[in-house]
Chains A and B, each alone.
Chain A
């Protein structure tokens, strides 16, 4: 590395500053590990020939044992195997719905932020409306009218959850558009497409990471609620429908916690991982978040550390 030595003795690099690397903290790494493990479980549930067993009246709500770690459900089938099979629809529907939401939100956000005037205003009102509207009741009604089914859930959740992404993207595009280098590119004769692809999108993509993980979390929660209301259609085995069955078939009155706790806990863990990922990404992208502090000592501590 080339450099010169300043009179103070500190080496100053003359080379190009290194591109800012995304530094992920322990939380983000934990979140990624959790998500990868669950993705592997989902793949196993999808492609391995797993069978929760036939209906067996001798094992109704049988408690966990050495051979069946999570016991049996109301029909005497193995809960653990159902949990593994249920992972695939739970994750795929949530991910697809979030992808739909991010795609709609990202497109409309870029469109609104880049265009000034009436189009921006119309889209902004639309975003405001969809942010306020109660998503779950609307999703319930649309799915009930349209007919239950996982495909329908993906689209319904997607078209109800796009507005947060759109707002965040719009704000970023709007401020990015006014930057000097973008105006300079425009003055040099760059077309809209070039500016969007080369200058605006690179600023937007990192944001998609945070709002995307939040969208996945919200989508999975909404999906589980809709499945709880029986809107997944018949014959779907997912974590959401497992909670529904446990509720409908009175697992609580039989103290069969092993039928209720695992599916909800899986949802809870996956969503926590999504939130952690979003929080860490936000922190990494916006270092200002961690500069404020009330502790009196910290100020001197920090300056001491920096001086060293």
Chain B
């Protein structure tokens, strides 16, 4: 007999697996609709013959039918092989993983600031519902959320150039190699990109937290708590907020896609050597294997984050499984 918990989990894992599989498939066919094929350029060497073309086709497995190529692709993926980058001639897996290592701390810092700030302002706005404070918070969140990320980034560069580093992830001329010097150097380089990301995304957390808290404030148990005469602080922290957490957690996970999109922009402006920057460079240099690998890793990451949110929500509210 299956409990409703495990059925819920199984369902969510199934959806995530379906999403990953759809992404793999989409990723394969997306790059097959390219005009020409991968060897069109390679065979265009001086004296390139039809035989050379055919030999290359065989070597890359492009003479096989499409479904066989698809199976090859899945088998290679299962072994962690994402192909070889055209521009660096190194394995894409290696390149993508290194880039991801740079993206994760910067993005986490940014989204951390955004969530804390957004949730705090959202609660404040809900608490002061209908007052000037609520208006200021709601409108500020909306207006800042409306600003294009690249524009926020460039404005921050305009304001902070010379005060904080605006390019790269570390100082290439730094002498000190002890832990704290390196740490400070990294952190200093991280401030502006993370701040941009935080500014570009916090608005949605503010607005959703505000409406989630407002919705719980209309519940009967809040009414009862008010009638008993509990202080506002206790009503908020003990009753309204815990119940408002589910939409907030769901939103944070759902926003992973937008946040990744934001970090592509941020990394391009600040020359941050992360996965977004790698995607931009791959587009400019027509490095399709790298582009394909990066897109795959980014999408699968986002799907897994959403799965994690479903599990967290189950812990927050066990009733969700029914």
Q: List the interface of chain A (C-beta within 8 A of B).
A: 125, 128-129, 131-138, 140-142, 144-145, 217, 221, 224-225, 228-231, 240, 243, 246-247, 251-253, 255, 257, 260-261, 263-264, 267-269, 271-272, 274-276, 279, 288-289, 291-296, 298
Contact = CB atoms under 8 A, between A and B. Distances in A.
Contacts of A246: 154
Classify the interface of chain B: helix, strand, loop or mixed.
helix
Contact of B158 (A228, A243, A260, A293): A260
Contact of B146 (A128, A217, A225): A217
Contacts of B34: 145
B146 A137 contact: no
A231 to B, nearest CB: 8
Classify the interface of chain A: helix, strand, loop or mixed.
helix
B246 interface: no
Interface residues of B, number: 63
Contacts of B302: 132-134
Interface of B: 15, 18-19, 22-23, 30-31, 33-34, 126-127, 129-130, 142-143, 145-152, 154-155, 157-158, 161, 211, 214-215, 217-218, 226, 232, 235-236, 254, 256-258, 260-262, 264-265, 268-269, 276, 279-280, 283-284, 288, 291-292, 294-295, 298-299, 302-303, 306
Contacts of A135: 257-258, 261
A142 B31 CA distance: 9
Contacts of B254: 131-132
Minimum-distance CB pairs A-B, first 3: A136-B261, A264-B151, A292-B218
A129 B146 contact: no
A240 B56 CA distance: 41
A140 B276 CA distance: 11
Contacts of A140: 264, 279-280, 283
B265 A225 contact: yes
Given A144-B291, A225-B149, A125 B15 contact: yes
A141 B150 CA distance: 18
A145 B265 contact: no
Given A137-B261, A225-B265, A294-B217, A132 B148 contact: no
Contacts of B288: 145
A204 to B, nearest CB: 22
Nearest to B14: A125
Given A140-B283, A257-B158, A134 B30 contact: no
B150 A224 contact: yes
Nearest to B158: A252
27 contacts: A128-B19, A131-B254, A132-B254, A134-B299, A135-B257, A136-B258, A137-B261, A137-B294, A138-B295, A140-B264, A141-B279, A144-B291, A145-B288, A224-B151, A225-B265, A228-B268, A231-B283, A252-B161, A260-B151, A260-B158, A264-B151, A264-B155, A272-B143, A288-B218, A292-B215, A293-B129, A293-B217
